[in-house]
Amino acid sequence: VSRVAVLLPAGGSGTRMGGACKPLLDLAGETILSRCMRPFLDRADVEWLVVALPAAALEEPPAWLPADPRVRLVKGGPERMASVRLALEAVPDEADVIVVHDAARPLVTADVIDRCIAAAAAGRSVLAAVPVTDTIQEIDDGGAVVATPDRSRLRAAQTPQAFPAGVLRDAHARAALGEEIATDDAGLVSRFGGRVHVVDGSPANIKITTPVDLLLAEAILADRR
Amino acid sequence: VSRVAVLLPAGGSGTRMGGACKPLLDLAGETILSRCMRPFLDRADVEWLVVALPAAALEEPPAWLPADPRVRLVKGGPERMASVRLALEAVPDEADVIVVHDAARPLVTADVIDRCIAAAAAGRSVLAAVPVTDTIQEIDDGGAVVATPDRSRLRAAQTPQAFPAGVLRDAHARAALGEEIATDDAGLVSRFGGRVHVVDGSPANIKITTPVDLLLAEAILADRR
């Protein structure tokens, strides 16, 4: 059985949500962050769950944080990838699978997590992803359409993203020398020549970015009940 | 002032919605199709609005259809583009701007419609589109990520799409000789060398494809009230 560490970068300020720290917002009676943590803490193979929080939230850790010895809090960085790196530093060497999950995807379900961890335990770097439902157009600087990529080849990236621990550590160690070169960990691993595969995510595993997303999340939760 | 014709292809069966004709489904007390029609009928420059309906719905036209002399009903085709073509045949030669709108986008607003029609009246072929919020990955047959297109260059296509009448008629006339070569009208025009530009759509202008989308649409409408 793999020893799994989960990283939840929740350090951002969420300018599109009025400046609040999104993961600390309430969603149907429970914070978004707490909803992101629970399905991971439900797994016996998850031994560490590192949450990168804004400095202000760290000074006075929220009372609702699960009193689980596996949870560690660290200070987040200025960007998502910096927060991931800081969280990664808090993961012990014994971890052999590392999972990164957006702290703004509270509707992630056990089956998606399971597919990601199973693949990483088998040595693959993976991200959850879903087919793209819109036609995607590529435009130039003037807003003219220059290409319409074949939609059947496109996937919208979600999280979790899961990696054999050494692969993720190595990618971050190499990136540390330069500037920001990828927007997520799958991109980072791929950037250094690592092969990354997609596994099936879920259309309901949405990222809460705007107030409309919060409405959708509430509707999905109401529908699940 | 331009003389505008609007085409609403509503001929499909919506397999992801349990086989019902999606546009005829209720959304917060009004059919999706009726909500798609209203903002166009509110405009004085819209002189024709052609709705392509499934044959069954045509035999007994719904009582709630607006009793507006500008509305024409035609039989839809087996696919979206076939429905557009059949609707196009019902547009008089006097129209100089032709707008195509998904009959499953009931939340379209006046400002988006206005941008599309204004651009087409000025001689441009345009589609409403929004920035892509997810990272998009391009994969191979084995599900391995082969490229991560620069997200700032990508737009998710919506409708309305609006065209100088001759441009759209010409593209459909040329396409009629062959098989299905594009999934939407902007794609068709571009396929024959026409330049197509994007104008700003709206994140709330969603396409109702799955039951979750219907929940989101209800939440957005509740929020607007």
pLDDT in tens, B51-110: 999 888 888 877 888 889 999 999 998 888 899 999 999 999 999 999 999 999 999 999
Q: Which of B133, B196, B209 lies closest to A209 in CB terms?
A: B133
Rounded Cα–Cα distance for residues B12 and B80 (Å): 7
Q: Which residues of A touch B132 (CB under 8 A)?
A: 136
CA distance, residue A161 to nearest chain B CA (Å): 13
Helix axes B32-41, B110-121, angle to 10 degrees: 50
CA distance, residue A63 to nearest chain B CA (Å): 30
Q: Which two tokens stand for residue A18?
A: 């009025």
Give the residue from A33, A131, A206 showing the smallest Cα distance to B215.
A206
Residues whose CB falls within 8 Å of the CB of residue A95, separated by 6 or more in sequence, listed in order? A3, A4, A5, A47, A48, A165
pLDDT in tens, A24-78: 889 999 999 999 999 999 999 999 999 999 888 888 877 888 889 999 999 998 8
Q: Which residues of B touch A215 (CB under 8 A)?
A: 216, 219-220, 222-223
Give the 3-state secondary structure of residue A169. helix
β pairing state of B26-27 and B30-31: antiparallel
Cβ of B137 within 8 Å of Cβ of A209? The answer is no
CA distance, residue B50 to nearest chain A CA (Å): 24
* Residue in the structure block whose two tokens are 């690592």: A194
Distance of CA A4 to the CA centre of its chain: 15
Q: Is the predicted ipTM greater than 0.85, yes or no?
A: yes
Q: Contact, A175 vs A188, CB < 8 A?
A: yes
State the pLDDT at residue A70: 97
> Residue A177: pLDDT above 70?
no
Half-sphere exposure of residue A18, counting CA atoms within 13 Å on the CB side?
Answer: 4
Residues whose CB falls within 8 Å of the CB of residue B77, separated by 6 or more in sequence, listed in order? B11, B52, B83, B85, B86
Helix (H) or strand (E) holding B30: strand B30-31
CA nearest to A155 within chain B: B137
Q: Which residues of A touch B184 (CB under 8 A)?
A: 135
Residue A203 or B5, more confident: B5
Give the residue from A103, A84, A99, A109 showing the smallest Cα distance to A173.
A84
Residue A203: CB atoms within 10 Å: 16
CA distance, residue B141 to nearest chain A CA (Å): 8
